[in-house]
A and B are shown apart, each in its own frame.
Chain A
């Protein structure tokens, strides 16, 4: 540790002297670098899957106050380095590595023809659909053919197969091996295109994510109480007062691929290069505390990391969907139950799978914003013992939206055009303006702390099958009410209170659209109003060295929840062991269906159904399935319904 401290002192001194000129270590406030860190193994076992995580992490933090420098008080340099090796891609490569997936067949629901051709359950192999390579040679339009030799039936899963049966709905083949083992579906540049080593060592990338934080800061006094405060560098800027889910805390994107929503936000916020300036009035005649913060995120835009197809934590299973769709676009793909057999002249009441040629359906590319122009302001303070903030932030939506306004090939005619209601997309991240505020206050009469946040956003975009481009924007109102109370439960612990913390999150889409169509609902799959409840009960025993806790989260509309009991044991100042379960309950993804656009009639009149009043008019008549849009109704809890896990984490701190 002393060697490290010497190295840091040299580095810090060098950096300060070389970069900024006049610094001297002699009058530094801290004589030594403040250093700390840990090494950790987190091994999770998933029911039916085996090891889902064997993450080995080393983290090192350092900080030093150089005292008065450059006209600032307490000029400080701080940093956090983190390196991770997730061995799951080696230990369980049948599920998440080079041997994951396999050959797959696709459902032809109720098709007597398919039953006759393929036997068994009537499923047709990848690339051998009746409307496709498996059809009569020469009779199938080129738009329904793809080269199986370039896009073979191996290393695949059926979209959603870990969560539900197709149940007559559409599914797509998903390549699930790392992109260096199977490049299919990895064509979205710098987005969900990770090789094995990228997945094993997620911090070692072009963004230098092993530098989790590195910033300088200092303050300039302007009075006894007031000062300017500046911080510049790679950092996390935390707004808001909520746990687990975010309402105001939107400045840094989040890496959900690490462990869905369940890791501390501290560990999964993706640090960005940010400059912040605060003017702190301190106490004034009116406010007990008041400050104004301006934040400029001058880093390149990074979206939330959602995990890619074939990785253990792919929130909403979006990564699988995107990879499958990118493969459709680039190499073609098989889609189950896509066409009524009768539509191609078969005397067959069932649905049949279809093979799509490249460039017909799918995801073409991702458009990552290149502006370095995210920023906002926050006025925060305390007034009559009530903490408050008023916030504004301009940013890019951190969750992707699929925009259907791209040029693609008519599978029947070969004509290239921007076809309405066709499931051919680019991924975009629209600009969003967020207006928000927060409060916290304590009611002594009931010994309870209340936390409130609310935001109103403009510019967010959502899937919408009513629209020709299959998306639309909506203003969104979000709020959260949090309640914290420390309560003695004498029969469990007569000397130490339990923390009981509950939160209710609400979301209302002001421009929500859903209409009844002949075969089902059409419009936005996201709920117009939804609520997620969380409850934490945490206790402490043996001088806080043993801390059991239970976290429960429940999605009201998805009717899905998580029950996560765990015990945290501080063995001593160095060793810590956490053992827990993460159990899902309620409905899974298979219980949520929505318009899947099979009946969107994108290539009229060829794709019109009897339910289309005008066969020349595109638009959905509402035939629904679980995939692909049911995930938006299942939410992060329901879409992970099959991810019950036993989790062990051992950490050594130094």
Chain B
């Protein structure tokens, strides 16, 4: 990495233009620190106020359409907080700087050239660039979403009826994420040595409760080659057997939730599975907050005193959090597979973190089907171990099936802790060992 940085600087000098170097620095700084010169504002919007049915119309322009409808309908109320900077880990920013200008798209969808680490395309997207959406998608894929590795340990999902508020099911999981390549923080950097199938990332999921799905485990291996299909395995506790999953199950309800595996983290699939379109840049309200400043749930006990984000509003489908006005890139993805159960997703990509805190999912007829919210907590206001990690902590989710009047909510205990995500747990054999 040092070598690449040196080369980059040398090239800059060789071009004899300090202005270019400055411009490059600005590109990176603008991408990672969009609020360094000030935070966005909107008419009438003040910190501490509440947006609800009475004033939703006033703020329609800074709300995504689904959020606007929900507030307008009085399903919940939005508490407005100060816009704060979610600085990503410096090593990730440095890696971006080092690779600046060296990354390009391949000829085909799902191909990228010259990428080492960091944010592949930190430049502002241009409406004139027909592949701007694809570049944003790569920025998400290689984002610092959970850092080099992290665990949600544990993770509660509740299935709720929007009308009655009845909690139909409660599932308890452990989720683990590991990047094999493009690592910037924890050893080995930048990648693991033994990686024969050239994996980029793995996700391992273990179900702890309830009894009927206990010991169910999910393992996803994502290749560095985006055009290679994921390998996905499911261990069924009642069968004591690892079953390989077909991609049909990736786009299907996961364990009866309103979420499909492809929805994990906002989008959990390949770049090459979708057509990507950049639809503009704007400032809208996003669920970014300080976990420790919230009124937290008291119904789920953790021995270390950790409390989860609480839920309320209609049906208990909405997290009791605060929202910030933030810069977003509007990104649309529509599936290449004609048999895919959705027609498109509209992602509201947080420009600073490249997380996907808001996504709207449309059914095959083009009607709004689901409203997908992933609340982002600042790591410095979360668990002690997360401080300084530069990871925007996924801290609460709500997948609202608007058509079915049903939602699945998620309460996270996200931990950026390499010890919880040792590489050996991301194997098929580990599923057999963890199972009974």
Contacts and interface: CB of A to CB of B under 8 A. Distances in A.
B385 interface: no
Contacts of B199: 288
Contacts of B427: 280, 282-283, 289
A416 to B, nearest CB: 50
B141 to A, nearest CB: 19
Instruction: Kindly name the residue among A78, A227, A486, A496 whose own CB sees the greatest number of chain B CB atoms within 10 A.
Output: A486
Contacts of B428: 289, 382, 387
A451 B404 CA distance: 36
B53 interface: no
Interface in A270-323: 278, 280, 282-289, 291
Q: Is the interface of A mostly helix, strand, loop or mixed?
A: strand
Interface stretch (A83-91, A328-336, A439-447): A439-447
Contacts of A224: 422-424
B68 to A, nearest CB: 25
B214 interface: yes
Contact of B424 (A282, A440, A488, A494): A282
Contacts of B423: 224-225, 282-283
B240 to A, nearest CB: 5
A283 B214 contact: no
Contacts of A225: 194, 423-424
Contacts of B17: none
Interface string A609-642: 0000000000000000000000000000000000
A287 B169 CA distance: 39
Contact of B429 (A238, A278, A451): A278
Interface in B234-248: 238-248
B406 to A, nearest CB: 7
B45 to A, nearest CB: 37
A515 interface: no
A570 B210 CA distance: 11
Interface in A3-57: 31, 34, 36-38
A576 B252 contact: no
Contacts of B249: 486, 497
B433 to A, nearest CB: 6
B22 interface: no
B116 to A, nearest CB: 21
B246 A264 contact: no
A103 interface: no
Interface string B419-436: 000111001110011001
Contacts of A227: 424
Interface string A189-229: 00000000000000000000000010001010000111101
A591 interface: no
Contacts of B422: 224
A385 interface: yes
A486 B252 contact: yes
Given A225-B424, A442-B229, A449 B243 contact: yes
A31 B404 CA distance: 40
B214 A264 contact: no
B212 A570 contact: yes
A527 B85 CA distance: 74
Interface stretch (B29-37, B121-129, B253-261, B275-283): B253-261
A540 interface: yes
Given A224-B423, A485-B248, A543-B169, A266 B239 contact: yes
Contact of A31 (B170, B195, B257, B303): B303
B239 A265 contact: yes
A284 B194 contact: yes
Nearest to B208: A34
A543 B168 contact: yes
Interface string B157-187: 0010000000011100000000000000000
B39 interface: no
B239 A289 contact: no
* Of listed B168, B192, B194, residue having the most chain A CB within 10 A: B194
B247 A540 contact: no
Contacts of B233: 387
Interface in B368-426: 404, 406, 422-424
Contact of B159 (A213, A264, A444, A543): A543
Nearest to B159: A543
B168 A385 contact: no
A653 B244 contact: no
A283 B246 contact: no
Given A229-B433, A285-B196, A236 B244 contact: no
A284 B212 contact: no
B16 to A, nearest CB: 45
B371 to A, nearest CB: 16
A133 B2 CA distance: 103
**Which of B159, B199, B429 counts the most A-chain CB atoms under 10 A from its CB?**
B429
A61 B238 CA distance: 13
Given A224-B424, A496-B252, A540-B256, A238 B241 contact: yes
Contacts of B246: 442, 447-449, 484-486
B127 to A, nearest CB: 34
Given A496-B252, A497-B249, A288 B169 contact: no
A572 interface: yes
B257 A543 contact: yes
Given A280-B424, A442-B229, A288 B196 contact: yes
Contacts of B258: 543
A229 B239 CA distance: 21
A288 B197 contact: yes
Contacts of B209: 36
Contacts of B238: 264, 266
A306 B248 CA distance: 39
A268 to B, nearest CB: 12
A284 B108 CA distance: 31
Interface string B213-241: 01000000100000001010100001111
Contacts of A278: 429, 433
Given A36-B214, A280-B429, A449 B245 contact: yes
B307 to A, nearest CB: 18
Interface string A574-605: 00100000000000000000000000000000
Contacts of A544: 253, 255-256
Contacts of A61: 436
B247 to A, nearest CB: 6
A573 B159 CA distance: 11
A367 interface: no
A241 interface: yes
A45 to B, nearest CB: 25
A282 B253 contact: no
A494 B253 CA distance: 12
A262 to B, nearest CB: 14
Interface string A470-506: 0000000000000011111000001111000000000
Nearest to A287: B196
B230 to A, nearest CB: 9
B341 interface: yes
Contact of B243 (A31, A226, A385, A484): A484
A557 interface: no
B169 A572 contact: yes
Contacts of A521: none
17 contacts: A38-B211, A61-B436, A224-B423, A229-B433, A241-B241, A266-B240, A278-B429, A282-B423, A283-B196, A486-B246, A486-B252, A488-B341, A496-B253, A497-B249, A540-B256, A543-B253, A545-B256
10 A-B pairs with the lowest CB-CB distances in the bound complex, closest first: A544-B256, A486-B248, A653-B211, A444-B229, A543-B256, A573-B210, A288-B197, A238-B240, A283-B194, A289-B427
Given A442-B244, A485-B246, 19 more contacts: A31-B303, A36-B211, A282-B194, A283-B192, A283-B427, A380-B429, A447-B247, A449-B246, A484-B246, A486-B249, A488-B339, A496-B253, A497-B248, A497-B251, A540-B256, A543-B168, A543-B257, A544-B256, A570-B169
